[in-house]
């Protein structure tokens, strides 16, 4: 194992970017704690990673929209034995209907998983990281956080803003916090929410391996915000100068 081996806890670890984070970090020799709802998919993923890379892989089946699931994962994050030195808040989903057409419960569940859950997990892991004088947190946000895009954009904007503050607040004590902000990525994200991707030009799509590779590089460099690819860096920069009307129009395209 490399000298800087970390034990990484990843939420939403069996699909999409979460699975790619697990793959790349295992390839680097890091031990893993994988969190998702589906126990069977977790076990299959864990067996493959152990066989391919010889790393330790724990699994936690938990619903992170339920208090019991959050408590289960928080308890693991607070353990002093085999401590978690990197947390990746990746679990999430989007809503396809407009705000007024969603139920209050749908919006509340969305807010819970995208904002409240990462906040609670960060609060659980930070004391241990600070006491050890080292740690890393990655919050998977989105370029949608830079433009007006209903509650999805608002949730991701919260993650970006908090990550920027936390990185300044805690980096001097050895703990860095990075918001990784992808655009359109070839994953199961849109399929799982039954969202159409028709009309999205090819140049706007990124592969998951690139997003994770650049996101990890920025996180290990201590950056507070990571926007993978030059094209999305440019779009994020230009969003600062766009009108709310234009940003809202652009945000209708999706993630």
Could you report the per-residue pLDDT of 184-202, keeping only the tens digit for each? 765 554 455 454 455 565 7
DSSP lists the bridge partners of residue 58 as 33
Q: What angle do CA 97, 199, 91 make, to 5 degrees?
A: 50
Structure tokens that stand for 40 in this block:
């069977």
Q: Which residues contact 145 (CB under 8 A, 6 or more apart)?
A: 153, 155, 156, 157, 158, 159, 160, 179, 181
Q: How confident is the model at residue 96 (pLDDT cuts 50, 70, 90)?
A: confident
Pair 255, 189: CB distance under 8 Å = yes
- Read off the pLDDT of each residue in 126-149 and give the average, rounded to a whole number: 94
Characterize the bridge pairing of strands 135-140 and 205-207: unpaired
d(CA 15, CA 3) in angstroms, rounded, equals: 28
Q: CA 93 to CA 165: how far, in whole Å?
A: 24
Q: pLDDT of 8-35, one tens digit each? A: 999 999 999 999 999 999 999 999 999 9
Torsion of Cα atoms, 192 then 196 then 201 then 204, to 10° = -30
8 Å CB contact between 26 and 53: yes
Which of 106, 178, 169, 170 has its CA nearest to residue 141? 178
User: Phi/psi at 96 (nearest 5 deg)?
Assistant: -90, -25
pLDDT value at 52 more than 60: yes
Of 195, 184, 170, nearest in space to 228 by CA: 184
b/e per residue 213-244 (b: at least 16 CB within 10 A): ebbbebbeeebbbbbbbeebeebbeebeebee
Query: Angle at Cα 17 formed by Cα 112 and Cα 153, nearest 5°?
Result: 45
pLDDT digits (tens, 9 = 90+) for 116-135: 999 999 999 999 999 999 99
Nearest one of 234, 231, 238 to 211, comparing CA atoms: 231
Supply φ then ψ for residue 133, to 5 degrees: 75, 20
CB 253 within 8 A of CB 200: yes
Displacement of CA 228 from its chain's centroid (Å):
13
- Domains of the chain with CATH codes: 7-251 (3.40.50.720)
Distance between CA atoms of residues 90 and 16, nearest Å: 9
Please determine, for residue 244, whether its predicted confidence score (pLDDT) is greater than 60: no
Residue 99's closest CA among 255, 253, 252? 252
């Amino acid at each position: 194992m490399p000298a800087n081996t970390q034990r990484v806890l990843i939420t939403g670890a069996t699909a999409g970017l979460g699975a790619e984070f697990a793959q790349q970090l295992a390839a680097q020799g890091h031990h893993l704690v994988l969190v998702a709802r589906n126990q069977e998919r977790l076990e299959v993923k864990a067996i493959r990673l152990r066989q391919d890379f010889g790393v330790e892989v724990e699994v936690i089946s938990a619903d992170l929209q339920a208090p019991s699931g959050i408590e289960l994962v928080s308890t693991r994050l607070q353990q002093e034995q085999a401590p978690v030195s990197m947390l990746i808040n990746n679990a999430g989903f989007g809503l396809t209907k407009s705000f007024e057409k969603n139920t209050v419960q749908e919006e509340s569940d969305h807010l819970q998983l995208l904002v409240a859950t990462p906040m609670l997990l960060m609060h659980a892991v930070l004391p241990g990281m600070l006491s050890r004088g080292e740690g890393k947190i990655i919050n998977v946000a989105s370029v949608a956080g830079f433009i007006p895009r209903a509650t999805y954009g608002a949730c991701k904007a919260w993650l970006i803003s908090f990550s920027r503050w936390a990185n300044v607040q805690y980096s001097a004590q050895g703990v860095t916090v990075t918001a990784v902000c992808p655009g359109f990525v070839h994953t199961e994200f849109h399929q799982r929410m039954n969202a159409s991707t028709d009309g999205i030009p090819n140049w706007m799509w990124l592969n998951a391996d690139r997003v994770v590779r650049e996101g990890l590089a920025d996180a290990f460099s201590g950056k507070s915000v990571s926007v993978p690819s030059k094209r999305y860096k440019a779009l994020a920069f230009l969003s600062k100068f766009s009108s709310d009307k234009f940003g809202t129009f652009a945000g209708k395209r999706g993630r």
